[in-house]
Amino acid sequence: MSDEDDDIAQRKMQFLFALRSKGVTDARVLSAMEKIDRGPFIRGLFSQRAYEDMPLPIACGQTISQPSVVGLMTQALRIEPRDKILEVGTGSGYQAAILSQLARRVYTVDRHKRLVTEASAIFNDLNLTNITTLVADGSFGLPDQAPFDRILVTAAAEDPPGPLLAQLKIGGIMVVPVGQSDAVQHLIRVSRTDQGFDYDELAPVRFVPLVEGLGKDT
């Protein structure tokens, strides 16, 4: 093994240790995050920081979430192998790639065409064939593909969006950051039951806001 390979192996080991220390303990989630390298999803000046547990800027004024938050959100979904998942906010594509290791099918949407195009290219390179990418206003979900077993929103809404709640199966779970400012946000798990919706507050977080409409680059 070369010094460079040894260095990467060491950083990956530290990466997984950091995930566990932040509360990511689900074995399937950890296995998925070990398998999907964060490196290809980060370009330019920040590529050397791919294995650090920190958010990093990407194109279109967006960010790639810190890995521990990706892990905690994924873990909170309690994904089953046959699940069909909607992700709102493709961003770099890293979160969708993790989801693809755990579920049968992932639909991921973003309002920025550039982000969808770049993420799609990475998915092709990694041979992740169970991800469908779309340029769309994610706040309205994907009615044509509903209902979904799981929905993950990677941008903060003031309240869990009504159209997304409506597209969640009975027994389904949605994880969404909720907050009226970027200073005060909480990660919420919404479980749909025969009687309605149950809400669990999971952790304080900070995400870019959920914005309606398509990006100007579309």
Residue whose pair of structure tokens reads 């039951």 in the numeric block = 193
Collect all residues with Cβ–Cβ distance below 8 Å to 76 and sequence separation of at least 6.
173, 175, 187, 189, 202
Residue whose pair of structure tokens reads 């027994």 in the numeric block = 171
The amino acid present at 163, given as its one-letter code, is P
CA distance 62 to 44: 15
For residue 65, indicate whether it is catalytic. yes
Q: Which candidate in 2, 47, 65, 191 is catalytic?
A: 65
Long-range contacts from 23-29, C-beta under 8 angstroms, 24+ separation: 23/68, 23/72, 24/68, 24/71, 24/72, 24/75, 25/75, 26/74, 26/75, 28/79, 28/102, 29/71, 29/74, 29/75, 29/98, 29/102
Radius of gyration of the chain (CA): 17
- The residues that are catalytic are 65
